């Protein structure tokens, strides 16, 4: 939001520091100042990034001024508006939409429409707002001044009563900038008995526009549901200053202040006779009360802020509070919707005190490992199955059918699994096809995971081998396999443990995992007749030595028999590259070299 230095000064009693110093104070104590521009009349414009958590109160000059006063210990000027005498009103308002929390309307008769005084035009133009006429400019001045959007209609163009309702199907409005907008029942509008006057909380229409010919006006100051305004603004592509404030939520209490301020400004500048206020207050604003102690603040921040320092911070930010023993009982301003409990006051006091003053100290943590029974059982069962030659797999939790469906799940994976066996069966078949590459003579896999039957989620164990698949609960496995007291010590932390990978034992400090290739493998089988006295290990060594670097597994002897004083041996070779897909021609060249070496030994290729 663009904030004028001169406009800020008009809200504060004492002189402000120089713009550069003020910008630094705001950056370190409240908000990021994204840019700073000096204007010809001697004003400086700050572009301040107000985040949504503070948009309730700080998308305005008055809100930023309160922050500056708190940071610098300055004094806010009180609102200066008079209560004017008014006459009875004949205007009527009907609220028929739930998104309207409060709607205040006031007719002001015999106003003089004209150019704004210089001070008003300069205020608005300094933050990039074009001056239109005195009435429209004053509604904008109130919005950018205290954060409450307001609007004025030409009273004589309104037919019947004002109605806050949902739009009719295919209803239309021409906005103030001349755009024709199609409406639907999801959009709330301000209307009279014949036409739409404005899109609630977003933008006004031309039907009751205030022009130089206007004599009588009706001013509205309202409060609308933030979610509804946000949806409407984005649906219609109308991202207005009004919508930005409403979608971040404003307190309905602010509307009461705004109508009196606007009435006073209009009478001072445009004259006129105000009528009585119509106030449809549907959702009455409430004030939060937060109770906390200095000990609580210090415990949360890790500081040693004294009781008196906290009291000073509360006074600087104009909080109304009472002290009861060691407790502060703080009445939270209506506009501070972001403060709901003592945890919010921790942040409030912390930033006012200065985060740079907080000395970072590491917390005292007892690093003694905590016993987790489920983790201990899972670890013990995992190691038991690995020791029996099984390899762990993980399958999908989501499946086609199950007792519980998930919202907007992918096609074919819209439910939670009720067992592990279905996924494990598929995994077993797929891994079985790659057994040669994995160097596994017998496929044995298992999974430990959560399943979701109607009775409630539970951890199961399932393991598969050539005999079939067995599934049971984790506790049943622990009991049936006599795994005693798995939580006595974490087996994963044991220094000397034995892992079984692919049927080979190794110590915990042995081999390091190597990533597998993403490219497909090629297998070749070679069968030879060798003399009966020749050891098959000699063939193994020759094949391994001459198959080259693309051989990713040791040659595997998968068949042997003897006949007529000779022995037949058959080996399987697996070739794979880590950087490309191998071609048959490459592997054929390797095998040709292997055959040459075999012939040199006078072994016969079958």
Cβ partners under 8 Å of residue 573, min gap 6: 523, 524, 525, 526, 543, 547, 551, 553, 555, 591
CATH code, domain carrying 423: 3.30.930.10
The answer to whether residue 98 sits within a structural domain is: yes
What is the per-residue pLDDT for 369? 76
What pLDDT shows up at residue 385? 94
513 pLDDT band, cuts 50/70/90, is low
Q: Which of 357, 392, 409 is the last residue of a domain?
A: 357
List pLDDT tens digits, range 304-325.
Answer: 999 999 999 999 999 999 999 8
Of the listed ranges 76-80, 89-93, 183-187, the least confidently predicted one is 76-80
The verdict on residue 163 lying in a domain is: yes
Whether residue 61 is found in the same domain as residue 104:
no
Q: What's the confidence (pLDDT) of residue 484?
A: 61
pLDDT value at residue 408: 78
Q: What is the mean pLDDT of the chain?
A: 91
pLDDT at 171 over 50: yes
Both tokens of 462, joined, read 């399932």
**Strongest mean pLDDT among 125-129, 435-439, 554-558:** 125-129
| Same-domain check for residues 297 and 273 | no
State the total domains in the chain. 5
φ, ψ (nearest 5 deg) of residue 514 = -120, 130
Residue 503 pLDDT class (50, 70, 90 cuts): very low
293 and 440 together in one domain: no
CA 120 – CA 7 distance, rounded (Å): 10
The CATH number covering residue 334 comes to 3.30.56.10
pLDDT tens sequence across 147-168: 999 999 999 999 999 999 999 9
What is d(CA 299, CA 578) in angstroms, rounded to the nearest whole number? 55
Q: Which residue has the higher pLDDT, 82 or 438?
A: 82
Task: For residues 223 and 331, state if they share a domain.
Answer: no
Whether residues 63 and 205 share a domain: the answer is no
Say yes or no: 126 and 225 in one domain: yes
Q: Is residue 434 part of a domain?
A: yes
Residues 182 and 310 in one domain: no
Same domain, 485 and 439: yes
Last residue of a domain, one of 323, 357, 391: 357
Assigned domain for 129 exists: yes
Residue 550 within a domain: yes
Rounded (10°) angle between helices 294-301 and 307-316: 90
Say what the pLDDT of residue 355 is: 87
Cβ atoms of 527 and 543 closer than 8 Å: no
Q: Is residue 364 part of a domain?
A: no
For residue 510, pLDDT over 60 is answered with: no
Residues 6+ apart with CB under 8 A from 375: 490
Instruction: For residues 463 and 469, give the distance between their C-alpha atoms in angstroms, rounded to a whole number.
Output: 6
- What pLDDT is recorded for position 495? 40
- Return the H-helix or E-strand segment holding 570: strand 566-575
- Let me know whether 234 and 97 are in one domain: yes
Specify whether the CB–CB gap between 102 and 280 falls below 8 A. yes
Domain that holds residue 540: 522-605
Return the beta strands (E) in 254-390 as ranges.
273-274, 278-281, 289-293, 320-324, 327-331
User: Rounded distance, CA 495 to CA 509, Å?
Assistant: 9
Any idea what the CATH number is for the domain that residue 561 is in? 3.30.70.380
Tokens for 75? Answer: 């004094």
Q: State both tokens at 92.
A: 């009527």
- Cα separation, 154 vs 211, whole angstroms: 8
Model confidence pLDDT, tens digit, residues 206-240: 999 999 999 999 999 999 999 999 999 999 999 99
414 occurs within a structural domain: yes
Q: Is there a single domain that holds both residue 119 and residue 224?
A: yes
| pLDDT for position 499 | 43
CATH label of the domain that carries residue 219: 3.50.40.10
Considering the domain boundaries, does residue 362 fall inside one?
A: no
Whole-model pTM above 0.85? no
502 and 528 both lie in a single domain: no
- The token pair at 543 is 């094949």
Say whether both 568 and 598 belong to one domain.
yes
């Amino acid at each position: 939001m663009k904030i004028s230095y001169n406009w800020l000064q008009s809200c504060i009693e004492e002189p402000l520091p120089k713009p550069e110093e003020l910008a630094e104070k705001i950056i370190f104590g409240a908000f990021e100042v994204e840019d700073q521009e000096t204007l010809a009349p001697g004003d400086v414009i700050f572009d301040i990034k107000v985040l949504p958590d503070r948009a309730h109160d700080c998308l305005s000059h008055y809100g930023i001024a309160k922050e500056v006063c708190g940071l610098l210990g300055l004094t806010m000027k009180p609102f200066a508006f008079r209560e004017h005498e008014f006459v009875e009103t004949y205007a009527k308002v009907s609220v028929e939409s739930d998104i309207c929390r409060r709607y205040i309307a006031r007719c002001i008769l015999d106003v003089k429409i004209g150019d704004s005084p210089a001070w008003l035009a300069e205020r608005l133009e300094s933050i990039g707002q074009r001056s239109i006429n005195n009435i429209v400019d004053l509604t904008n001045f109130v919005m950018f001044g205290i954060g409450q959007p307001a609007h004025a209609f030409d009273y004589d163009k309104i037919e019947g009563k004002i109605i806050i309702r949902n739009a009719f199907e295919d209803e239309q409005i021409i906005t103030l900038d001349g755009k024709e907008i199609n409406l639907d029942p999801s959009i709330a509008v301000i209307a009279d008995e014949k036409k739409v006057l404005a899109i609630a909380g977003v933008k006004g229409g031309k039907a009751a526009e205030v022009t130089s010919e206007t004599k009588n006006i009706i001013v509205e100051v309202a409060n609308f549901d933030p979610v509804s305004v946000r949806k409407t603004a984005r649906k219609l592509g109308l991202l207005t200053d009004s919508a930005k404030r409403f979608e971040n939520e404003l307190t309905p209490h602010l509307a009461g202040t705004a109508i009196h301020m606007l009435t006073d400004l209009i009478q001072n500048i445009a004259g006129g006779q105000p009528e009585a206020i119509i106030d449809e207050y549907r959702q009455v604003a409430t004030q939060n009360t937060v109770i906390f102690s200095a000990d609580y603040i210090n415990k949360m921040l890790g500081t040693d802020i004294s009781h008196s320092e906290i009291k000073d911070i509360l006074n600087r930010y104009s909080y109304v509070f009472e002290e009861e023993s060691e407790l502060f009982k703080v009445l939270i301003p209506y506009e501070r919707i972001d403060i709901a409990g003592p945890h919010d006051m921790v942040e409030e006091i912390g930033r006012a005190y200065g985060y740079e003053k907080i000395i970072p100290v590491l917390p005292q943590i007892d690093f003694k490992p905590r016993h987790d029974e489920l983790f201990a059982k899972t670890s013990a069962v995992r190691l038991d199955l690995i020791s029996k030659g099984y390899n762990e797999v993980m399958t999908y939790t989501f499946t086609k059918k199950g007792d519980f469906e998930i919202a907007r799940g992918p096609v074919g994976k819209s439910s939670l699994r009720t067992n592990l066996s279905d996924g494990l069966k598929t995994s077993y078949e797929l891994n079985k096809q790659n057994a040669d590459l994995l160097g596994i003579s017998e496929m044995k896999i298992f999974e430990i995971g959560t399943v979701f039957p109607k009775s409630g989620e539970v951890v199961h164990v399932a393991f598969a081998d050539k005999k079939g698949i067995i599934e049971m609960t984790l506790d049943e496995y622990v009991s049936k396999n006599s795994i005693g007291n798995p939580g006595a010590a974490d087996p994963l932390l044991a220094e000397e443990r034995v892992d079984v990978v692919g049927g080979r034992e190794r110590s915990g400090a042995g081999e390091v995992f190597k990533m597998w290739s993403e490219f497909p493998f090629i297998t070749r089988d070679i069968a030879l007749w060798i003399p009966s006295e020749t050891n098959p290990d000699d063939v193994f060594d020759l094949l391994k030595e001459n198959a080259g670097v693309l051989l990713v597994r040791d040659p595997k002897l998968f068949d042997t028999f003897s006949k007529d004083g000779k022995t037949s041996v058959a080996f399987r070779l697996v070739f794979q590259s880590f950087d490309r897909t191998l071609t048959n021609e490459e592997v054929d060249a390797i095998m040709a070299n292997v055959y040459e070496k075999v012939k040199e030994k006078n072994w016969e290729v079958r």
